[in-house]
Amino acid sequence: MANYRIEHDSMGEMRVPTDALWGAQTQRSLENFPIGTETMPDEIIRAFGILKKAAAQANVELGVLDETAGTLIADACDELLAGKLDGNFPLKVWQTGSGTQSNMNVNEVIATRANQLAAERGITLAAPVHPNDHVNRSQSSNDTYPTAMHIAAVLALTSRVIPAAQALIDELQRLERENEGIVKSGRTHLQDAVPIAFSQEISGWCGLVEAARDDILLAAEPLRLLALGGTAVGTGLNAPPAFDALVASNVEKLTNEFFLTDPNKFHALTGKDAMAFSHGALKVLAANLMKIANDVRWLASGPRLGLGEIRIPENEPGSSIMPGKVNPTQCEAVTMVAVQVMGNDAAIGFAASQGNFELNVFMPVIAYNWLQSARLLADCMDSFRERCVSGIVADRQKMHDNLHNSLMLVTCLNPYIGYENAARVAHKAFDEGISLREACVGLGYLTAERFDEVFRPEEMV
């Protein structure tokens, strides 16, 4: 028995694996683009399932698709969304820049499964459900792929990135409350600075995540405009009147997220500014997470020869040769994710600049990089929160010792002896290895009693 069947498209016949739901156009793409290992993101496939169901419902309501065929298509889409059709979407990212082959991959799989459902239910169709004539009715790859990108991006933000950011914010706020009253040395330029409360330092970390979260929410709004209804070049050729608005309404119902049809389909097809703008907000989050992770690993450095002002969870051995070594691995994972996101942002920016005439043909690479960034950021925030931030413990004694050994405490003497005299005190203390108190009294600027009255590091915050 042959392990393939014969399918055909407008270019002729193709051999397709017997157990595959896809058809000839998907098979052509598999054979013509054997490039890399990166396949179309699952989030894009799921978004296609949503929009194909929404389009079928709209086409039935507008009288351009048979109700029975529309129901079968919608049911096949439900199976796709439930993961029952996984394994049938093998196409690479590195294909046509409009994503046409992935659009047709989804069309073919849904059409095949719809016809199987008809047979299983004993339904006799006037004609089999066709990937182009029925599943792709009133659509073009040029408006479905950008629509799928926007749907996938919004869902990635609202279901993964924002919840992960909020959970990290909540954990940082708890840590801030638990560390109130602890004063430590501040640092600027990697040098000793005036005192700061540890809770204040943590509040800065929390503010970095809060600000990025707010930027992401703001930048998500343009993603809620959908290109569907523009068809090939933005004119809406072959789509019935009101199809675009009805589909957007259906997508909103299916996702419980607000969506609108883009009023300017010519912009929607060729411009990818919404993807670039929103990824810029993800890059802000990456930059801020990089800062937080670096602070944590600096403060935890040691355990004896570094700053050692905090302790972080010891999750795994840190060295294959140095026994007992434990490294800030969660911090390192966060910073590597941040680097990847920043690289993705460059790729997306370049790709978004490449719209020519009525279409941008860099959409799969935009979608791949954008969704990877969202996925990595959400995952690393959850891991960092659970395996590092939740277990941060202040070393109060080390913070106290470092604070009282800091030369920058001399700043509190400025109002009493002046900036230049205070600088002389700091230099004398450093050069001679003595305390600020000894240096100040030795230079005759203050008596020991007066120094003790005005020199109160814990009150400098």
Q: How would you label 51-82 residue by residue, b for 16+ Cβ within 10 Å and e otherwise?
A: bbbbbbbbbbbbeebbebbbbbbbbbbebbbe
- Tokens representing 202? 């943590």
**Of residues 130, 278, 279, 319, which has the active-site annotation?**
319
Separation CA 182–CA 67 (nearest Å): 68
Contacts of 417 (CB under 8 A, 6+ apart): 425, 440, 445, 446
- Tokens representing 183? 């004063």
Q: Is 279 a catalytic residue?
A: no
**H or E stretch including 265?**
helix 265-270
Separation CA 409–CA 416 (nearest Å): 13
Is residue 65 helix, strand or coil? coil
Separation CA 302–CA 30 (nearest Å): 52
| 421 closest CA partner among 449, 440, 448 | 440
Is residue 49 helix, strand or coil? helix
Orientation angle between helical segments 24-32 and 100-120, nearest 10 degrees: 140
Pairing of strands 225-226, 310-311: unpaired
- Residue 13's DSSP bridge partners are 8
Pairing of strands 191-197, 183-188: antiparallel
Separation CA 103–CA 135 (nearest Å): 10
Query: Residue 272 carries which DSSP code?
Result: -
Which residue, chain included where needed, has tokens 């399918």? Answer: 7
Tell me, what amino acid is at 381? M
Q: Is 319 a catalytic residue?
A: yes
Separation CA 313–CA 319 (nearest Å): 16
Cis peptide before 303, with omega less than 30 degrees from 0?
yes
Which residue, chain included where needed, has tokens 């996925």? Answer: 375
The DSSP string of 305-374 is SS---EE----S---SSSTT----HHHHHHHHHHHHHHHHHHHHHHHHTTEETTEES-HHHHHHHHHHHH
- Tokens representing 233? 């070049």
Contact 73, 129 (CB under 8 A): yes
- Tokens representing 116? 């199987």
Q: Which residues are catalytic?
A: 189, 319
